[in-house]
Structure 1
Amino acid sequence: MSDLGSDTMRAVMWEGKVREVAVRTVPKPKLRAANDAIVRVTSAGICGSDLHTYRGYFGSANPPWQIGHEAVGIVVEIGGAVTTRKVGDRVIVSFDPDNGHVELKPPTLEDTDIYGFGPDFGDLGGCQAEYIRVPEADGTLIPIPYYPSHEYDYLCAADIFGTGWLALDLADFQPGDSVAIFGAGPVGLQCAHSAFLRGASKVYVVDHNQTRLDKAKSIGAIPINFAHSDPTVQIMKLEPDGVNRSCDCVGQECLNIDLKPQQNTVIRWATRVTAAGGGIGVIGLYLAQPSAPGRPLGSDIAPTIEFPMTEFWSKLLSIKSGFVQPLELAPKLLALIMSGRARPGFVVSSVIGIEEAAEAYRAFDEGKETKVVIKFPWQDEVEGAANGLREL
């Protein structure tokens, strides 16, 4: 780990080699504009979206770049135009920074600056690093209390908690609804957690990873293992009319019951199990990109998939897709965390140091981890006291 006075830092890098990342010494970021801030990262998450890059399917055209888009930390430097954040503040870094403009239309993913996916997505650097530069700091940084025992809860609010929550919104979820959630990864588990927080009557979680299904069961969900048999048959035995809402928390890398890649599997299953007049929310990534050095297997993902249109139309279903805007959801999600109602950090399965990142990626890719957090061993207590911070 670099010392505070160093001009360099350690960061996790994607270098274009499928299923490989490396930890490198790179220049520490500096302020570029008066509204920038520098954040010293205390915890960073490895996200399922990072695996799309790790597996060679998604990202910028040309590597290398720093990877990662989930972080919490401490503000250590601010530009002269930053007015609402100060040195010493504990913050969540929104993976989608505020751009300082009023949006007149919903942004597309290609038009959005995002940490951790390389120069084609804003060249912001990555959050799996000791320090990150934050543009438009007043609007991008989300203040949090100094609460070390709940740091991982706040870390989840950087992306996956809000992403799981949004999946329900996209499905037009209402209190009392039954829900089928496809995928028991970090986002699927957050979707299940959110469904219970919002008053779901029943929550089914579908996956083939039994460890993750056990995690879903631990919060009250009904686990459905599609490695055993057709998940739609399993659910329909319990819900003959189908569920009110279904959420695709997997995306384009989904597997069929033979555990083989088949891009339309979850869409077919969701259409089958959703009751007449119900809704399907698609939060999993569907974004085909042509192969390039930064995404060597990009062309393996088809830009179109076969869709069960007759069944969908005849059941009067609706379907919506989207990606989360953390800054919009932050007030309600943080209120739930602070009140003790929400504990999204339950998904964390391992906490590592940054030098262990390569092995952690391998384990996550193989389904041996549910959520990995990179913890940076800064002297929080000493420096927190120096900055007048206190634990709540």
Structure 2
Amino acid sequence: MTNLSAQGYMKAVQWGGKIGHMSTNIVPIPKITKPEDAIVRITSSAICGTDLHIYHGLVGAKDVPWGVGHEAVGVIEEVGPAVDFFQRGDRVLILCMAEDGNFLPKPSMSFVSLEGPVTFGLGLEMGSDKGLQTEYACIPWADSSLVKIPSSLDDKEWLPLTDAFPTGWSALSRSGFEAGDTVAVFGAGGIGLMCAYSAILRGASLVYVVDHVSSRLAKAAAIGAMPINFTRGGKASEQILALRPQGVKRSVDCVGETCVNEDLQLQQDYILREATAITTLNGGIGIAGAYMLSLVNGGKGTEASRKLGIKPEISFPIEQAWFKGLRIQGGMLDLKNSVPALVELVKNGAARPGFLFSGEYSLEDAPLAYQRFEQREESKVILKGKRK
């Protein structure tokens, strides 16, 4: 035990409201406040694309500072008296949304409501001001917010199961995917790579991955997907239709409304138009990318999102989608129906999602890790937490 923890303090990554900057601060170690709580010693956490939305000032609560991060693996240090299924020493995944066992939003839930699942690390107004990029975390409703995992395998093989892997898996399902389908995944960040990996694991006959960052496309190729650089050789739709004139059965948008066009300029409808163009008759489009940034602050967005020109409504080629009979479904990840299967895939060796990560950093070096991740010098980053 370090002197810091002996004195009741720990390191935590926090957002202080300055765009393009995260800081590592010293804060009190959390304590159990409710009987359903558990204290988890975080051994590894990850930086997500959503964290970059915070970094860019696009989402998050107005009152700062607050802790960030919603992807973590750790070991239970203490449990409340009402926790039935976990005990001290259990190794666990911390699901990105803590919830009360229901796994479904309440009917009245809005993005900024505290009802329903609570997402870590977005600030108190938007879920929780206690992030997981830290040394210890208090997890509410531990019995339904944690998943026990074996002591074998490095943290990197389990960490994607807290958010990126189930999000990619869920988005593929929402496209209507069936084994043997052809798939195009737009975006090769963490979610896109996990979506492509999910398609390959589930028996896709062909998977295209669309991006413009060479390191990301190289990872896509390494898992058996066909990389498409949409800034070279024409639009992605033109390149894919040249290779496969009939198009693909399923397309998945893993970027959202901050997507850019072939000139790398913001164009909110770009991927939805491209996906509609290449998806064949009676096919489907799944949407994992966020289309909610303009809903922040009562629909007004943030100053940063308004400067970027992000609007609450976008144009969409409805006639083409209607004529083709396309299924289009979006939404957040489906934890209940994806995580148990993913845990089994990792346990039995069928899945090894740790390939997603390109670098590891200490919590002290989190500001540097954010800079490198934001500049796409890293595909996905691990922050090492508290060792014994």
TM-score, length-scaled by structure 1: 0.92
Q: Which residue of 1 aligns with 2:191?
A: 187
CA distance in 2, matches of 1:71, 1:59: 19
Residues 273-312 of structure 1: pairs in structure 2 closer than 5 A: 273-287=278-292, 288-289=294-295, 295-299=302-306, 300-312=309-321
Distance 1:277 1:361, change over 3 A: same
CA distance in 2, matches of 1:104, 1:214: 38
Correspondence for 2:200 among 184, 196, 199: 196
How many percent identity over aligned positions? 43
* Structure 1 counterpart of 2:313, one-letter code: T
Contact 2:135–2:386 (8 Å) recurs in 1: no
Correspondence for 1:346 among 334, 352, 355: 355
Shift of 1:289: 3.6
Contact 2:175–2:252 (8 Å) recurs in 1: yes
Contact 1:205–1:216 (8 Å) recurs in 2: yes
Moved more, 199-208 or 17-26: 17-26
2:72 counterpart SS class: strand
* Structure 2 counterpart of 1:170, one-letter code: R
1:235 counterpart SS class: helix
CA distance in 2, matches of 1:314, 1:101: 38
Contact 2:42–2:386 (8 Å) recurs in 1: no
Residues 86-105 of structure 1: pairs in structure 2 closer than 5 A: 86-101=87-102, 103=104
Q: Which residue of 1 aligns with 2:324?
A: 315
1:118 equivalent to 2:119? Answer: no
Residues 84-233 of structure 1: pairs in structure 2 closer than 5 A: 84-101=85-102, 103=104, 109-111=111-113, 112-147=117-152, 149-228=153-232, 229-233=234-238
Contact 1:33–1:79 (8 Å) recurs in 2: yes
* Structure 1 counterpart of 2:304, one-letter code: L
RMSD of aligned Cα (Å): 1.9
CA distance in 2, matches of 1:204, 1:253: 21
Contact 2:78–2:88 (8 Å) recurs in 1: yes
* Structure 1 counterpart of 2:365, one-letter code: E
Q: Which residue of 2 aligns with 1:65?
A: 66
* Structure 2 counterpart of 1:221, one-letter code: A
CA distance in 1, matches of 2:23, 2:3: 17
- Structure 1 gap segments, 5+ residues each: 380-392
2:379 counterpart SS class: coil
Deviation string, structure 1 residues 120-147 (Cα, Å, up to 9, x no partner): 1232500001111101111111000112
CA distance in 2, matches of 1:308, 1:170: 19
TM-score, length-scaled by structure 2: 0.93
Q: Which residue of 2 aligns with 1:264?
A: 269
Distance 1:56 1:346, change over 3 A: same
1:152 counterpart SS class: helix
